[in-house]
Structure 1
Amino acid sequence: MPPTSRTSSDKRLLSLSMLLFPLAMVLYELSAYIGNDMVQPAMLTITAEYGVDDAWVASSMSLYILGGASLTWLIGPLSDRYGRRRVMLAGVLYFIATNFLILLAPTIEWFMVLRFLQGMGLCFIAAVGYVSIQEAFEELTAIRVMALMANISMVAPLLGPLAGAALISVVSWHWGFVIIGALACVSLVGLFLHMPETVNLAQPKVSPAQIWQQYRQVFKNKLFMQLTLYFPLIVLPMLVWIGLSPVFLIKDMGLSNMGYGLSQLPIFISLIVGNLALARYAPRFPVGQSVYFSIPLMIAGGILLILAGFIPSIEYLLLVTGLALSAFAQGITFAVLYRFTLMASDQPKGVVAAVMSLIMMLIQAVGIELFKLVYVHWGLAALCVMNGLLMLVFAALTPPLMRRTMKVVTPGPATPAA
């Protein structure tokens, strides 16, 4: 059984025993992210097996993300009251159960309900896991550990589509959920053995009325709300690609499952390179400068996507290149914007992070569904144009909002985003 607390001297040493906790945590994070990235390539096969239209493909992803937004407001306070370790272990066990229950889904409607329930497993990562890392280690060590976790978790979007495409070529789609569940089982064992309890359960509990007031204050913070509504815009182009590319790459462009998987490489490699560039060069510039660096990238990417909608002969090349530029911009920007937004409110960071996660995931889920409607009714060309316009909107909003933010918020050091 892991110890219930750590002394200050214990925190200073990155021993193997201490690293086993974040390694188990990142294994769960990896399984939860692969729960989307490896499943999406199989969705055309799944919809065909259920005998329904392929419009359901993107809904699988949007419902998974929506599930990830549904419990963040509750899980943070629960872990404050009952302990991070207990809540985290319960969350991993729940995620494992949903991965095996979905194998029994009799209809596409039940499949989608279980995708929503699976997505709830995402809530435990930010609301409990990341907070535990920050509490278990001293500040500098926690930043290094979080950076390591971010780099490992980026394996999911890079290899998930390839693994999913390869898997569906040789076995039933059911095995994807079996593999994800098995990976989460290994994580559960690691967390049970090595996750410490970082909450002093003997302290007086915060009342529900006090928690409600904290939430109210966060929502009343104008700058926080502006940033929370703004920075998911840089993520949406990639999420639309993840959610809909199995349909238009395979159905419209005639690529094979493996061709679809290989098409992900330039985009996700660009995201990884952007994260690494932020980690390497961020100390050389004022915090927030990388957000300004993203503006020409988003403008160029947006123009390429709009052109893709009007030049069918090179549509694929323009689409992938434009999204690769957007992915690099996301890599050098997301972590900085996340920290700016987190620090824009002086309320307890667990509450602030819960509100951020809730709003972000709602925007992402609704955005994917809206872009799906554009694709279903007007086709790939319209989807490219809308995505390009979204990137141009982000570029236009950045200068005035960042000028105000950098005058008000002192975010501290930024770490790469997963």
Structure 2
Amino acid sequence: MSSVAKSSLNRLTMLFPLALVLFEFSVYIGNDLIQPAMLAITKEFGVSSSWAPSSMSFYLLGGACVAWLLGPLSDRIGRKKVMLAGVAFFVLTCLAILFTANIEQFLLLRFLQGTGLTVISAVGYAAIQETFEERDAIKVMALMANISLLAPLLGPILGAFLIDHVSWHWGFIGIALLAFCSWFGLNSKMPNTPPAAAKMPIKAMFGEFKQVYANRRFVGLTLSLPMLSLPLMLWIALSPVILVEELGLSSMEYGMAQFPVLGGLILGNVLLVRIVDKMALGRSVLIGLPIMLAGTVIILLGTLLSSLFVPALIVGMTLISFGEGISFSVTYRFALMSSEVGKGTVAAAVSMLLTLVFFLVIELVRIAYEHVGLWAYSLSCFVLIALWFSFPRRLLKTIMQERRAQGVF
């Protein structure tokens, strides 16, 4: 495996993450702008609004299904080549969706667009972790998250505008243009590092995945990631149905409800950047998870007291997103570094497991929501965070003890 020289964090080295985050923003807004428009899209295609969350789950599934190839491929031919090809493919699928005639074709193109998620997670994030030192990499990931969070903040507002004034088609045109611009930035500023692994037959690639998934620490850390992030993913997937269709909020009121929730995530990421050099790595996760659990309890109480449901939902989700902000980047770093296999393969393994869990849970909660309504959402959030206090918490404490014994802060 090739050794990659680490870069310090400065204005020049930040140009690559900025180009990457422009693509990340276009991929994320490809969900956050379109999700509010799904009620209009399902109506246009003549299907039930219960199809609305499937746009997001198929998007995630598309990412999971190609990660096995893109991560190892980037180890062997270089991250930059795979990144540029992935961005180009995403642009083409955004333009192709303009010509869909039914919900099945629409979801197929959403599935193909989901490859953009894997290009970011299995190729882009691996390049970030290789390019920067440990704590600088965590800072870069947190800063990138804050910029990309403009997508869920602006997406609902822009989605509401599309619904009320133009057509959802223009959203995909705008997304394609953003991704096209990012291609030029990545082509210019992404480090052209040598391949991290020798070219091997496909069988050897699967052998590497077997080695990664046989690592119990890797599996434990990776499974803890959806526990952290799924409550917010469920919010993005189901909040249009909950707030607009069930509770009768307007499209603009729905958009405004996103600001405190996503603002909590931004605040958490900003705080992480400030404190990551001042405390043992992992400590912020131990602080963030009780805050997230408190948020789920508030949502449950709001479900019991229906007159307070909307404020309880927003307050609870804000606490959850804040806790995720100070926890996720650190946990992701631990997961990625838990195996010695090439980081493209490890990042792909993370991406596959993560997005498959996302797909399954979102679809299961969507089905449960049709039968038991708001309780499906509230209980799902509570169970996901409560589960984190089992094996993931023990595993994190073990890692922190090992680092302390090695003299690593």
TM-score over 0.5 for the alignment?
Answer: yes
1:94 partnered with 2:86: no
Partner of 2:126: 131
Identity of aligned residues (%): 47
Cα 1:83–1:311 shift into 2, 3 Å: same
Partner of 2:286: 292
Partner of 1:38: 33
Where do 1:240-255 residues align within 5 Å? 240-255=234-249
Q: Which AA in structure 2 matches 1:83?
A: G
C-alpha contact 1:301 1:325 (8 A) present in aligned 2? yes
The alpha-carbon deviation at position 136 of structure 1 amounts to 5.3
1:47 partnered with 2:42: yes
Where do 1:70-89 residues align within 5 Å? 70-89=65-84
C-alpha contact 1:277 1:332 (8 A) present in aligned 2? yes
Cα deviation per residue 1:309-352 (whole Å; 9 max; x = unaligned)? 21111111111111111111111111111122222223222222
Which runs of 5 or more residues in structure 1 are unaligned? 1-6
C-alpha contact 1:298 1:392 (8 A) present in aligned 2? no
d(CA) in 2 for partners of 1:278, 1:133: 17
C-alpha contact 1:295 1:398 (8 A) present in aligned 2? no
1:344 partnered with 2:343: no
C-alpha contact 2:20 2:124 (8 A) present in aligned 1? yes
Cα 1:172–1:406 shift into 2, 3 Å: same
Where do 1:37-186 residues align within 5 Å? 37-135=32-130, 145-186=140-181
Q: 1:388 aligns with which of 369, 382, 388?
A: 382
The alpha-carbon deviation at position 143 of structure 1 amounts to 5.8
C-alpha contact 2:45 2:102 (8 A) present in aligned 1? yes
C-alpha contact 1:309 1:382 (8 A) present in aligned 2? no
C-alpha contact 2:59 2:110 (8 A) present in aligned 1? yes
d(CA) in 2 for partners of 1:286, 1:368: 34
C-alpha contact 2:289 2:385 (8 A) present in aligned 1? no
d(CA) in 1 for partners of 2:224, 2:319: 19
The alpha-carbon deviation at position 209 of structure 1 amounts to 4.1
Q: Which AA in structure 1 matches 2:222?
A: T
C-alpha contact 2:126 2:347 (8 A) present in aligned 1? no
**Cα root mean square deviation, aligned:** 2.7
Q: 2:216 aligns with which of 215, 222, 227?
A: 222
Q: Which AA in structure 2 matches 1:356?
A: V
1:303 partnered with 2:333: no
Partner of 1:3: none
Which runs of 5 or more residues in structure 2 are unaligned? none
Cα 1:22–1:34 shift into 2, 3 Å: same
Q: Which AA in structure 2 matches 1:352?
A: V
Mean Cα deviation higher: 190-199 or 405-414: 405-414
If the length of structure 2 is used for normalisation, what is the TM-score? 0.91
d(CA) in 1 for partners of 2:266, 2:398: 29
Cα 1:270–1:116 shift into 2, 3 Å: same
Mean Cα deviation higher: 34-43 or 284-293: 284-293
Partner of 2:321: 327
Cα deviation per residue 1:147-180 (whole Å; 9 max; x = unaligned)? 5433322221222222222232211111100110
d(CA) in 2 for partners of 1:305, 1:129: 35
Cα deviation per residue 1:112-163 (whole Å; 9 max; x = unaligned)? 1110011112111122223334555677776665454333222212222222
C-alpha contact 1:240 1:368 (8 A) present in aligned 2? yes
1:379 partnered with 2:373: yes
Partner of 1:4: none
Number of equivalent positions:
405
Cα 1:329–1:136 shift into 2, 3 Å: closer
Cα 1:321–1:142 shift into 2, 3 Å: closer
The alpha-carbon deviation at position 368 of structure 1 amounts to 0.6
Mean Cα deviation higher: 44-53 or 378-387: 378-387
